[in-house]
Amino acid sequence: MVTLSAEQQQKLRDIAKARKEENERLALEMEVPIEQIELFLGRATVQRIEKSRDISGFDLFKKDWYKSNPGNNPLKSNHLVSAAWKLVSSEQKHVYHELAMKQNTKPPTLNPSASTRTNERRGYMNDMKKLADMLSLKCGVESFIVLSSRIPGENFGEITGSDKGLLAAEDLRWTQSFLEFGLKIQNNENGDREEQPPPPRPIKKARKNMNEGRQFIAHRMKELYREIVGYGVVPYSNWETEKHKLEIDVVGWPEGMPFTAHAFKRDQMQEIINALEQGKIKFISTKQTLKKDNNDNMETKMELDGK
């Protein structure tokens, strides 16, 4: 912070005193409270604040009236325009109001900032995911949505939708055409519909995002679990206890990796996803195995007793 000399401080006091006296003079002259004068003139610069007003149906009618009645002074003929407006039918007034609404609606423009676009996309995608979930839960409608940037060279591609919609799309291998979809969008934006040159970098593949990967694993495991148990969700936290009670087990889970739907790194996540896609991971019933082991034990015991 700069330290002012005594001479500089006194100069500023004089300026402040002179400004206060000027504000009082303006307040008296304009018949405006001094608080408002200080509000608008309390800084070194004065900004004119203009509030834009939407166009009304009357504004459009007035414009047409002056075209049909040239030579009238707008400052002196407002009463004539108002009288003419009163004679206009309700249907014609409605037409003017509709035209005004169209002119007041400003079309959205593309944000020039790439980082801002990224943040906006993330927010809109979260809203889309919530809407897809609500359609699934309340209306029984499943969805699979592919998103790709139409801006040439921009590396953006995602998928979203309801949980069952995403699983169905994965089973049908719809995500295989994900990259082709992004290329088509960008080529159409360029006006080039025949040649399809690749972008500088490939659009990232589905489920490379950690949240999407975890979500896929959790829901796929739930589907497999219900195929064998019929209800509920996978009891990861107390799996060792529950699997004996339910007489089931899981096979194909990557060796040395904790049995969970969330606590793993990116490379571990991809390994689990690959195993699920290849059908290696599944739940099996251990009832037959236990029954066979018990029978073997009984036969062994009988043989020993016979001896």
List, in sequence order, every residue forming a beta bridge with 283; answer none if it has no partner.
250
pLDDT value, residue 147: 82
pLDDT value, residue 34: 75
CATH number at residue 261: 3.90.1460.10
d(CA 90, CA 86): 10
Write out the residue range of the structural domain in which residue 283 sits. 207-307
SS3 state of residue 284: strand
Residue 169 and residue 229 in one domain: no
Task: Specify if 76 maps to a domain.
Answer: no
- In which element (H, E) is residue 298 found? helix 287-306
List, in sequence order, every residue forming a beta bridge with 157; answer none if it has no partner.
148
Task: Specify if 281 maps to a domain.
Answer: yes
Task: Specify if 118 maps to a domain.
Answer: yes
Residue 302 and residue 214 in one domain: yes
Task: Specify if 223 maps to a domain.
Answer: yes
pLDDT value, residue 51: 47
**CB-neighbour burial class of residue 284 (10 A; exposed 0-12, middle 13-18, buried 19+):** middle
Task: Specify if 165 maps to a domain.
Answer: yes
pLDDT value, residue 87: 92
Residue 127 and residue 200 in one domain: yes
Radius of gyration for the alpha carbons in the chain, expressed in angstroms and rounded: 37
Domain end (from 150, 179, 206): 206
Does the pTM surpass 0.85? The reply is no
> Which stretches of the chain score pLDDT less than 70?
1-2, 39-53, 105-112, 152-153, 155, 174-209, 261, 263-264, 288-307
**CA-based end-to-end distance of the chain:** 102
pLDDT value, residue 266: 75
Handedness of CA 52, 55, 58, 64 (dihedral sign): positive
Domain end (from 159, 184, 206): 206
pLDDT value, residue 81: 87
Residue 121 and residue 196 in one domain: yes
Residue spans of alpha helices (H) in the chain: 6-30, 34-41, 57-68, 78-86, 90-104, 114-139, 163-171, 178-190, 210-229, 239-246, 266-277, 287-306
d(CA 92, CA 85): 10
Pick the closest to residue 209 from 255, 166, 241 (CA basis). 166
pLDDT value, residue 46: 40
Task: Specify if 197 maps to a domain.
Answer: yes
Residue 236 and residue 265 in one domain: yes
How is residue 171 written in tokens? 């089973």
Residue 169 and residue 217 in one domain: no
User: pLDDT of 85-114, one tens digit each?
Assistant: 999 998 898 999 888 888 876 666 666 677
Residue 164 and residue 195 in one domain: yes
pLDDT value, residue 100: 86
